[in-house]
Structure 1
Amino acid sequence: MGSWQWNDQQRPTSTVGVRATLGAVTMKDDPQAVQRPYVFVRGLDSKLHVNWWDGKAWHWSDQGTPGGRRVIEKVGAVTVQDNPTAAQRPYAFVITDDSKLYVNWWDGSKWQWSEQGAPDNRLIREGVGVVSVQNDANAAQRPYAFVITDDFRLWVNWWDGSKWHWSDQGTPPSRIVSRPLGVTTMRDNPNAFTRPYAFVITDDSRVWVNWWDGSKWHWSDQGAPSGQPVKKGAGVVSVQNDPNAVERPYAFVQGYDSKLYVNWWDGSKWNWAAQGAPSGRLILDSVGAVTMKDTPGAFTRPYVFVIGDDSKLYVNWWDGTKWNWAAQGTPAGRVVERPGEALTVQDNPNATQRPYAFVITDDSDLGVNWWSLP
């Protein structure tokens, strides 16, 4: 039987603590290899740092900053695979103090910084998230980074296979984009084109999604939970009933009542469901959402990690038949001060996926709550 563990990942250096997380990915050196977590953070020095697992030990690496700039906001991190048998390569997208987009990426032999700029003489306000897109299961993966600009419009910076583009996704009808929620991708079948979905919160505290149907972009009004305006996002994932099924988005949000809600696609229509909160608590902030598979052929099960108003970590998870709340506690002698990132790790392609939830503790260290196998 497995068990939950807490680990102190410490900090980038003895004098530089963690200010915020900027994204997390898992890396595979080849399709049969163990997945290795990489967690990108903004240090108190306003530089990019990464905490990564080499297969035997954790390391901190200083990624620095783009020339003369400071890192101020996250957009997200993603991995790119040039073909199905290639090593995965991390890309970490950040916003710097000139309100432009930059990416720190691994070219297969060394790290690079690239300036992505900003769209149409605008300034970038916030990141929404990053996904990888494929034209088919054998194609190269291509990053799409969604951001909100200073005129409260949604834009995407995307790679077509040979060059980068900026595309104006606009706004929902008669609304402006107020806050980010998150991004995911959809596949109608395992060999289909991946279709990006970017969820945002508008100025009337409703959820909208900007999504690609395979030929054009759409805006759809997802509304809000009954009687409850949406305060902030808690994470977005895609769920599958089996490996050959269509993927279905789940967008988790926090209401102004400090409870968790989910907007989810059942295969024919969208639904809202109230997930509540841990017993006797309110939700202070969110860490992230992941999906779990017990076997490669199993149903994917969502896990959503949140911080309670007691500065402890909790998870709302689906066991296959019902939703549960579980108290994950805190690292020994510490409290959870700021949210982080969530991901799953797989020891081999046939293994159970294992959740890892990274948080920042009150001493500005990075902590991780993770599921270990026997």
Structure 2
Amino acid sequence: MTTSDGTVQGHTQIFGSAPRNRAFTVVLLGDGFTAAQQTDFNNACAAFVTALRATPPYDELSPAINVWRVNVASTDSGADDPAAAGGTGATARTYFDASFGGNGIRRLLICNNSTVLTTAAAQVPEFSVAIVVVNSTVYGGSGGSVGTYSLAGGATEIALHEIGHTAYGLADEYAYYAGGNETGHDHHPAGEPAEPNVTLNTQRASLKWGWAVAASTALPTMSNPDCSTVDGRASTVPAGTVGCFEGAHYYHCGAFRPEYDCKMRALGIPFCRVCRQVIWNRIGPLATLPARPRTPISVVARYPEHLDVFAVAADGRTMSDWWDAGSGWAGWFQVSGGLASPGGAGSPVTSVARYAGHLDLFVVGTDSRVYSTWWDQSSGWAAWFRVGTLVARPGSTVNVVSRYSDHLDLFTTGSDGRTMSTWWDARTGWAADWFHVSGGVAANGATVTAVARHPFHLDVFTVGTDNRVYSAWWDERSGWSAWFALPGIVCRPDSTVTAVARHRDHLDLFTTASDGRIMSTWWDARSGWAPWFQVSGGAASAGSPVTAVVRYTNHMDLFVVGTDNRIYSTWWHDTTGWAAWFNVSGGVAKPGSQVAALSRVTEHLDVFAVGSDGLVHSAWWDASGGWSGWFQLGIT
């Protein structure tokens, strides 16, 4: 029962198109399939792929996954089934020496791991995980350096469970080892388990998965009243509740799992939220996001060591990725099942962080209604909900301003071009509905931009139907002003007016003229509006807006996609004025796309764009090291 009991016939990629050097690669190797049974092995592999693609979170991560099969012909069919472990006593001469009865437990299906790993590396050198498919209908599987599963009923469920062990280091969450009421498994021994989905700790502040536990969820969430046996009661909380449920890691008491049920506890059950996140953390950074090329990317820094990025996938899904200084990039995920309107350049996801533990998102949906969702560190993501009755222009942008932490002001364009607004306040909730701002009407494709110079004042800008720039303002003491023109410029109809407030008595505006020139003006409380001027001779790709970042009150950085589709930047400092435009690290973007940028700290910039390949890319600048190169953001 060695490699002399079979031959390796070759390898075949059966799923995926991810780059081989940047993929999560599953290799399925057959054992106990004779030369005449290779079609059975091929069919088993196809069934595995079908199950994998249908199982969250793999359903969203599949663009980052490649699956290969390695056909191995064994001398005999089946696997060893020792009588000492309750088996039939059958033996089989197979290449990987598969055998039931590991540690005296019949269901524990083991093989020669060294031979498996050597074979996988020889056939598919970039493999991430090796799984042996054993040609037996006896129930069994195992996980470790190599995963195994048999062709018993529910075979693919066994496979997905065992990959949880082998690829991600997930623990078994069931509360027994051999059978259920065996001795020696009443109380888990001391010592915190290393696996991410089981714990002995129920303290909220230090819980491994505390990030996923709602403040209202009791800890422990369920305790076993009889440690002499497995707790067989039904859940006392709604399905999907993350907390601490006693009975895990092969013990009746003392060890806790994140949810009442999970695929790591019982087959046929979805992975729990914590296990899904562990899988995301492993595969997500390998994936890439085909994005809508002209839909703006939104990025916020809830605190200096963290970024949340929002984009719209090519198929309209509202997607997010996040970066933290302690863990790096997480990988893209769809936000609460949301879909964005495809009209025009496509409706972007706009985001705002009212405080460090909270995010609010807005988008125009496929029905042209405005939708919102929110994330809070105590409860996670909410479902999307409709904001008022407004029918917006398809693909329009919802601009959002938080004048203070308990208030939001929203602006967009109605289906007839009217400039519309609504607001939310923590004391009163949402306003009755959207209202028309001072009779304003925006050009087709123009956005409504707003900025709060201080908590009791708003300045609003848009391009009107005559392609000129207009502004209105609101002040708590006087309400809304009439719209007025900022003369001296004729814009592209779909131009965005970018506005930033370097301090409460000053505004800087940027937009593109009808001939593509990048133009600016400014307002100061002491001197009023300045004439428009071209910024350092710059010109923008048709449809590309100007992004402005204020790193401190006397410095600004600008970004745009130029007429040659390269990504350009310039900067202004009060002591030196405007610099010349320069190409940022050789970056090339999709025509008409936007460059998103922010400053987490004053001497650092993070920049994002949809590259010429249609994928989301990022680069950064730091005063200590200058510009980085561009890199693909890990995405689905």
Report the TM-score range of the alignment, normalised by the length of the smaller protein: 0.5 to 0.7
Is 1:272 aligned to 2:482, yes or no?
yes
The answer on 1:117 being equivalent to 2:335 is yes
Correspondence for 1:248:
457
Pick from 314, 323, 343 the counterpart of residue 529 of structure 2: 323
**What pairs with 1:48-127 in structure 2 (closer than 5 Å)?**
67=287, 69-72=289-292, 73-81=295-303, 87-109=304-326, 110-119=328-337, 123-125=339-341, 126-127=347-348
Query: How much has 1:146 moved relative to structure 2?
Result: 0.8
- Structure 2 distance, partners of 1:181, 1:147, is 6
**Counterparts of 1:98 and 1:229 in 2: how far apart (Å)?**
28
Query: Structure 2 residue aligned with 1:370, among 567, 571, 596?
Result: 571
Please say if residues 124 and 150 of structure 1, whose CA atoms lie closer than 8 Å, have aligned partners that are also in contact.
yes
**So what's the TM-score if we normalise by structure 2?**
0.40
Residues 128 and 99 (structure 1), Cα distance of their counterparts in 2 relative to 1, 3 Å cut: closer
1:206·1:230 contact (CA, 8 Å) conserved in 2?
Answer: no
Partner of 2:103: none
Residue 224 of structure 1: how far off its partner (Å): 5.1
Residues 1:131 and 2:352 are matched in the alignment: yes
| In 1: Cα distance, 2:572 partner to 2:409 partner | 29
Task: Indicate the residue corresponding to 2:491 in structure 1.
Answer: 283
Q: Match of 1:52? A: none
Q: Which has the larger radius of gyration?
A: 2
Instruction: State the secondary structure of the residue aligned to 2:511.
Output: strand
Deviations 1:331-361 (A, max 9, x none): 5xx6322223112112xxxxx3422221111
- Partners of 1:129 and 1:221 in 2: CA distance: 20
Describe the shift of the 1:307–1:65 C-alpha distance in structure 2 as closer, same or farther (beyond 3 A).
farther
Residue 275 of structure 1 deviates from its aligned partner by: 3.1
Residues 75, 147 of structure 1: 8 Å contact kept: no
Q: Is the counterpart of residue 176 in structure 1 residue 385 in structure 2? A: no
Pairing 1:203–2:415 present = yes
1:222 correspondence with 2:431: no
Alpha-carbon displacement from aligned partner over 1:42-75 (angstroms, at most 9, x marks no partner): xxxxxxxxxxxxxxxxxxxxxx988464111335
Q: Which residue of 1 aligns with 2:539?
A: 335
Find the counterpart in structure 2 of residue 155 from structure 1. Answer: 371
Aligned partner of residue 91 in structure 1, secondary structure: strand
Structure 1 position 132, deviation (Å): 0.6
Structure 1 CA distance for aligned equivalents of residues 554 and 320 of structure 2 = 28
Measure the CA separation in 1 of the matches of 2:286 and 2:310. Answer: 11
- Contact between 2:472 and 2:484, CA under 8 Å: does it hold in 1? no
Aligned twin of 1:261: 470
Q: Cα distance 1:282–1:204, how it changes in 2: closer, same or farther (>3 A)?
A: same
* Residues 288-332 of structure 1 deviation map (CA, whole Å, 9 limit, x = unaligned): 211112xxxxx342212011123211113112231123313445x
Q: Which residue in 2 is equivalent to 1:212?
A: 424
Give the Å deviation of 1:157.
2.6
Under a length normalisation based on structure 1, what TM-score does the superposition of the two structures give?
0.66
Contact 1:311 1:335 in 2 (8 A): yes
2:407 touches 2:423 (CA, 8 Å); kept in 1? yes
SS at match of 1:289: strand
Residue number among 303, 311, 318 corresponding to 2:516 in the alignment: 311
**2-structure distance, mates of 1:221, 1:234:** 14
Q: Which residue of 2 aligns with 1:167?
A: 384
Rounded to whole Å, the distance in 1 between the matches of 2:357 and 2:522 is 30
Cα distance in 2 for partners of 1:141, 1:282 equals 42
Give the paired residue count. 272
2:67 is aligned to none
After TM superposition, the structure 1 stretch with the greater mean CA deviation from structure 2, 355-364 or 253-262, is: 355-364
Equivalent position of 1:22 in the other structure: none
**Secondary structure of the structure 2 residue equivalent to 1:71:** coil
Q: Which residues in structure 2 correspond to 1:226-237 (within 5 Å)?
A: 228-231=441-444, 232-233=446-447, 235-237=449-451
SS of 2:473's equivalent? strand
Give the Cα separation in 1 of the matches to 2:506 and 2:285.
Answer: 37
1:118 Cα deviation (Å)? 4.8
Query: Structure 1 residues 365, 287: closer, same or farther in 2, change over 3 A?
Result: farther
Between the aligned partners of 2:567 and 2:545, the Cα distance in structure 1 is 10
- List structure 1 runs of 4+ shifted beyond 6 angstroms: none
Larger relative contact order (CA 8 Å, sep ≥ 6): 1
CA positional deviation for 1:184:
1.0
- Structure 1 pair 271–341 and aligned structure 2 pair: CA distance change class (3 A): same
**CA deviation profile, 1:184-213 (whole Å, cap 9, x unmatched):** 1112xxxxx331222111012112223112
In the TM superposition, residue 149 of structure 1 has moved relative to its aligned partner by 0.6
Deviation at 1:229, TM superposition (A): 4.7
Contact 2:442 2:462 in 1 (8 A): no
Q: Which has a greater percent of strand?
A: 1
Distance in 2 of aligned mates of 1:88 and 1:300: 30
Q: Tell me which amino acid in the other structure corresponds to 1:112.
A: A
Unmatched 5+ stretches in structure 1: 1-63, 82-86, 135-139, 188-192, 241-245, 294-298, 347-351
Deviation at 1:276, TM superposition (A): 2.6
Shift of 1:123: 2.7
Match of 1:13 in 2: none
Question: Residues of 1 paired with 2:525 and 2:468: CA distance?
Answer: 22
1:28 aligns with: none
Aligned partner of 2:407: which letter? R
| Counterpart amino acid of residue 568 in structure 2 | G
SS at match of 2:325: coil
Q: Distance between the aligned counterparts of 2:349 and 2:310, measured in 1?
A: 11
2:340 aligned partner, one-letter code = I
Instruction: Measure the CA separation in 2 of the matches of 1:341 and 1:104.
Output: 21
Go from structure 1 to structure 2 and tell me whether the alpha carbon gap of 1:69 and 1:360 turns closer, same or farther (over 3 Å shift).
closer
**Aligned 8 A contact 2:400 2:411 in 1:** yes
| Cα distance, 1:275–1:144 mapped onto 2, change above 3 Å | same
- Secondary structure at 1:166's aligned position in 2? coil
* Distance in 1, Cα, partners of 2:430 & 2:448: 24
Q: Take 2:332 and 2:400, find their aligned partners in 1: how far apart are those partners?
A: 22
The answer on whether the counterparts of 1:290 and 1:302 sit within 8 Å (CA) in structure 2 is yes
Match of residue 29 from structure 2: none
**Change in CA separation of 1:254 and 1:65 when aligned onto 2, cut-off 3 Å:** farther
